[in-house]
Amino acid sequence: MSTGTGEGETAPDGESESENPPVRRLSAWDAADLEELAATYETPLYVMDLGRVRENCRRLREAFPDADVRYAAKAHTGRAVFEAVRQEGLGIECASAGEVERAFAAGASGSEVQYTAVNPPDGDLDLVVQRWEDDPDLTVTVGARDTVERLRERGFDGRLCVRVNPGVGAGHHAKVTTGGHAKFGVPYSEAESVVLDARDDFDVVGIHAHAGSGISGDDLSAHREVVRRMGDLARAVEEETDLEFVDVGGGFGVPYREDEPALDLPAVAEATREALGDVDAQLAVEPGRYVVADAGVLLATVNTVKESEEYETVVGIDAGMTTLLRPAMYDAYHAIRNLSAGEDRNATSVTVAGPICETSDVLCEHRPLAAPARGDVLAVGNAGAYGYEMASTYNSRPRPAEVVLDPEPRLARRRESLAALTELEQ
């Protein structure tokens, strides 16, 4: 199945330039192929192109040739995606015990898995420690002295990384700017002490910090400052003990709007190396969004078209905030395309809304779109990151199905049934 092409840089493995652009726009997806998938699997439907996932992994490894590149699992935890990133040589960074279990289920070994504990529930620590007992190469990252003590109480004495709050944050929205929020990491002023205190009971292998999610060229100064502080900390710690890696997180942004340029990843990589400076430890990065965002689209069907004085035309679809939360949660922009509209349909200003009983259940407002009609199939771009992952069953709506292109389409996740929504009830 053809998934479309765009313009861009030279691709690996003999691919032409047009097959591996620095970003895949929604216009590059083949409309007929996507409509066929919608007809075959019904909507709402997520579509993930594993070939594009692999291309993005290769681009990262080329930009950071000497770094340990780990995929931030929370962006998309599908087994097919995990398998694809592992095939490209990336490790997996997990934010929960559930993600750790998914990584192992996808064939990962402990040496490929890093668990980053954020105020971890007891059950998470219990499960991860059990996993470590079977595979001692697993690494646990802690962000509080309490977590260090709780691991000690559980008999864990393995590979430990200390997450630091660098006091500087960046990202596309305040809700994902982690670097400056007290929730994340031990205070920078205490980090060296925490590392050195943990040496006697653990194998302290690294330090970690993360500025935020969706970092673009506009806020690289904050990213550089985080990395610079981590370099300073690493040099101070290395006077007392050896470190295996300095992890500066990920958060590399993608252009959600059609007119935004692609991230200059080589420039980001060079700025990261320069800011880190001379350290004995290996640089580590944890991209998530960059790997999967433009590898995914969401397909939805128009069910209602009505005129409104305030909103001109309101277009109702069968996907809403329970399918794709980002617009309601972050006021996020996603490109939308009418796959069913021919050249004879003029663009009209529309508001695209879902079926959820919330005013926030709107994917866009006052957006030009080829005039929709009932039964048309719409595609929502850059839906591969934090799309399916943030789906919910609010309003008792089952979660959608997901198809992967590998390169031919196959069903990766079945559509949730109404019966499944009540399975846990007693």
Binding site residue list for substrate: 289, 326, 330, 358, 386
The counts of H helices and E strands in the chain are 11, 18
Six-digit token pair at 278? Answer: 């001379």
Six-digit token pair at 94? Answer: 């997990």
Residues annotated in a binding site: 251, 286-289, 326, 330, 358, 386
Please state, in angstroms and rounded to a whole number, the distance separating the CA atoms of residues 46 and 404.
Answer: 8
Q: Give yes or no for a contact between 9 and 264, defined as CB atoms under 8 angstroms apart.
A: no
Please state, in angstroms and rounded to a whole number, the distance separating the CA atoms of residues 344 and 370.
Answer: 9
Please state, in angstroms and rounded to a whole number, the distance separating the CA atoms of residues 27 and 308.
Answer: 28
Report CA-CA distances (Å) from 126 to 136, 221, 314, 405, 425. Answer: 15, 39, 49, 36, 26
Residues annotated in a binding site for pyridoxal 5'-phosphate: 251, 286-289, 386
Spell out the residues 6+ positions from residue 232 whose beta carbon is closer than 8 angstroms to its own: 277
Q: Is 357 a catalytic residue?
A: yes
Cα angle 352, 353, 357; round to 5 = 170
Strands 68-72 and 45-49: unpaired
Task: Find the catalytic residue in 57, 94, 161, 357.
Answer: 357
Please state, in angstroms and rounded to a whole number, the distance separating the CA atoms of residues 253 and 258.
Answer: 14
What are the residues facing 347 on neighbouring strands?
A: 370
What 3-state class would DSSP assign to 220? helix
Active site residues: 357
